[in-house]
Chain A
C-alpha cells in the first residue's frame, strides 16, 4: 500500500509539513483563516537537532502495536490505514505507550490523534507530502 516515507537527507526543517497537516484537518479553504492565532497540533512532527531534521508521522505498521494495545477498539486498521475513532477513544494513552515511533499524540479534546493519510480530509491525499517543498516526504508504494 502507499505510505508516507521521509528521507531526512532532504529535510530542510522548514516545518511546513506540520502546518499543512494542521490545515488539512480543519476543513477550511484558506490556511490563514484556519490557523491564524492557533497553536497547531500536527499529526506529523519534525524532530530537529544540530543540523539534522526529519518529520515523523504514523508508519501504518503492518503489525500495529497501537491497534493491538488499544483498550477501546477505537484504533483500527482499515485497508492498511490505521484509523482513530475519536468518539470511542477515551484518552487512556495506551497507544502512546505502545507506539515505537512516538507518532500518536494527545489532543486538547481528550482523544488521541494520529496521521490517517488525510483520508478523512477534503484533500484526500497526504497534505504533508503536497506541502513539502523539497520532495523529502513522499507518498508511494514500496516493495515490502
Chain B
C-alpha cells in the first residue's frame, strides 16, 4: 500500500500563539481534519483530510489558521505534472473513473479575458448612470418578425409568452439533491426579490418552493425526475435539458444514498434508488423528436410558458442551435465547457466541449445569417464570473446569461471542488442535515441579491461608458469589443477586431 501513499496536497498551518483551543475548527470540519488533544491541551490537524474549503479558516475567531499548498513535490517535469502523476496513482489503486466537481480548472484560454470593452470619448458622449435612466431589463422568448394587423388596422397581439427580467442574469440549473434545500431556497428568494429566474435542475421542485414559481424555470431532463403537471404549471418557463457544459454527452447519476426524504419525494423515486439520468433523451434522436417534446410541453401548459432548450457547447453547436431555433423552442441555452457540476468524470469535464465565447459567437452569427435569430433568445452559461463577462457575452450576441458557480460562491462556496463527496462544509452541496443548516437562507439570499445588485450597477457603468442606455442595444454589438492577443481565426469566429484596429 505504501506505493499509493500520496503526500497531502495542502497543509494546515496553525499559529499556536493565536490558537485558543476554542475548537470551532474541529466542530466545523466535516472531513474531521482537526482534533483536540485533551491531554496535551492543544489542537492538531490531519492535512490528509483537508480539502481546502476554508470553513475553519473563515470561522477561526483568532485567525490562527491558514491552508497552504504543500511544497512537497515530484521532480519537476513540464509534461508529467504532479496532478497527472497523482491521478495515475489513484486509478492504479482503484481501477475507477476519476470524479470531479465544479468547472473545468484546466489552463485553456479564457476568451472573456482576451476581449476588452469600448468606451466613448469626445465624439459620442458617455452616459452617467447615476444621473440618467439606464435600462437593464430584458425579455426572453421568440420575437415576431413583423407586426401583424387585423382588418381594422389594429396591431394584433401575436407576442408569444416571454420571460421578463430586471437584468440579463439568471441562476442556472442546479438540482435539489446536488445542492441543498437551503441553497435552493436562497436562490429562489433572491430571484423573486431581483425579478429574475432560477432553475430547478433535474430534481423536481420542493413543495415549499412552489410559492416562488413565478420566478422559477422548471427543468425536464432525460430522467424526467419530478416532472408532473403541477410542476410544469408552477414554473414561469420550462427548460428541456439536452446537455450540460461540464459533461457533454454524459448523463447524471445521483447515488441512492442521497435519495432520502424530501429528495426522494420531490424526484418521485423510491428512497435509496440511484437516480440515473440517461445520456440522451431516449425519445429524442432528431430535431423533429425535440420539436415533439417542445410542443408536448407547450400543449401541457396551454402555450402560456416559453420553452428553453439547453445544450452543451460542442463542436457543431451552431448547426444544432439552428435546428433548435426551428424546433419551436423559444430560448436556447448554451452551456460552455467551463460550466460547473456537482459531480462529473474528470476526463469529460476537462476535455469535452468548447469555450462558451466561441460557441456563442458562432451560434449568434449562424442564426443571424439564417434570418432566424428572432425565433429564439440566447442564454449562455459556463463560467460567467463577473459583470464584465456579462457585458462581453451580451455584446457577443447573448440575450442573457446563466450563472451557477458565481451564485454559489456568493452563498459561501470556496471552490474546493469536493461537491461529489457530499460533505460540503458550507451547507451547499450536501444533504447532511447538520451541514445544510449552515446555510441560512435569510443570509444566503441577501448575499446573492447583493451580488446581483452590484453587478447591475457595474453593468450600467460599463454601458454608460459605451454611450449605451439600454442593454438591448448592446446585444450583438460586437463593435464594442476588441480582442487582445488573439489570432486571426479566433477573431474571425468571435466576429471582433483586434485591439488597435
Contacts and interface: CB of A to CB of B under 8 A. Distances in A.
Chains A and B touch each other in the complex, with CB atoms below 8 Å apart: yes
Contact of B24 (A10, A16, A51): A16
B22 A19 contact: yes
Interface in A69-83: none
B443 A134 contact: yes
B59 interface: yes
Given A10-B440, A13-B27, A135-B442, A20 B61 contact: yes
A126 to B, nearest CB: 15
A12 interface: yes
Given A14-B28, A16-B59, A135 B440 contact: yes
B433 interface: yes
Contact of B62 (A11, A32, A135): A32
Contacts of A131: 61
A111 B305 CA distance: 68
A15 to B, nearest CB: 7
A16 B61 contact: yes
Interface string A35-63: 11110000000000001000000000000
Among B17, B22, B23, B63, max chain A CB count under 10 A is at B22
B61 A31 contact: yes
A25 interface: no
B434 interface: yes
Contacts of B27: 12-15
Given A14-B24, A32-B20, A19 B61 contact: yes
Given A9-B437, A32-B64, A51-B434, A14 B442 contact: no
A38 B20 contact: yes
A136 interface: yes
Contacts of A51: 433-434
B438 interface: yes
B149 interface: no
A107 B277 CA distance: 61
B184 to A, nearest CB: 16
B114 interface: no
A16 to B, nearest CB: 6
Given A12-B28, A131-B61, A36 B23 contact: no
Interface residues of A, number: 24
Interface string B380-417: 00000000000000000000000000000000000000
Interface in B43-85: 58-59, 61-64
A96 B14 CA distance: 39
Interface string B26-43: 011000000000000000
B434 A36 contact: no
B253 interface: no
B18 A12 contact: no
Contacts of A36: 17-18, 20
Interface residues of B, number: 22
A15 B23 contact: yes
Contacts of A15: 22-24, 27
A133 B59 contact: yes
A10 B427 CA distance: 11
B24 A135 contact: no
Nearest to B63: A32
B154 to A, nearest CB: 54
A133 B426 CA distance: 11
Contact of B443 (A11, A14, A135): A135
Contacts of A38: 20
Contacts of A136: 440
Contact of B22 (A9, A16, A37): A16
Nearest to A134: B440
A11 B440 CA distance: 10
A51 B434 CA distance: 7
B62 A134 contact: no
Interface string A105-144: 0000000000000000000000000010111100000000
A120 B133 CA distance: 49
A136 B443 CA distance: 10
Contacts of B58: 133
A12 B61 contact: no
A10 B437 contact: yes
A31 B23 contact: no
Interface of A: 9-16, 19-20, 23, 30-32, 35-38, 51, 131, 133-136
27 contacts: A10-B437, A12-B28, A12-B434, A12-B438, A13-B27, A14-B24, A14-B27, A15-B22, A15-B27, A16-B59, A16-B61, A19-B20, A19-B22, A19-B61, A31-B61, A31-B62, A32-B18, A32-B62, A35-B22, A35-B62, A36-B17, A36-B18, A37-B20, A131-B61, A134-B440, A134-B443, A135-B442
Given A16-B24, A23-B61, A35-B62, 4 more contacts: A14-B24, A19-B20, A19-B22, A38-B20
What 9 A-B pairs have minimum CB-CB distances, sorted nearest first? A32-B18, A32-B62, A35-B20, A10-B440, A135-B440, A135-B443, A31-B62, A19-B22, A134-B440
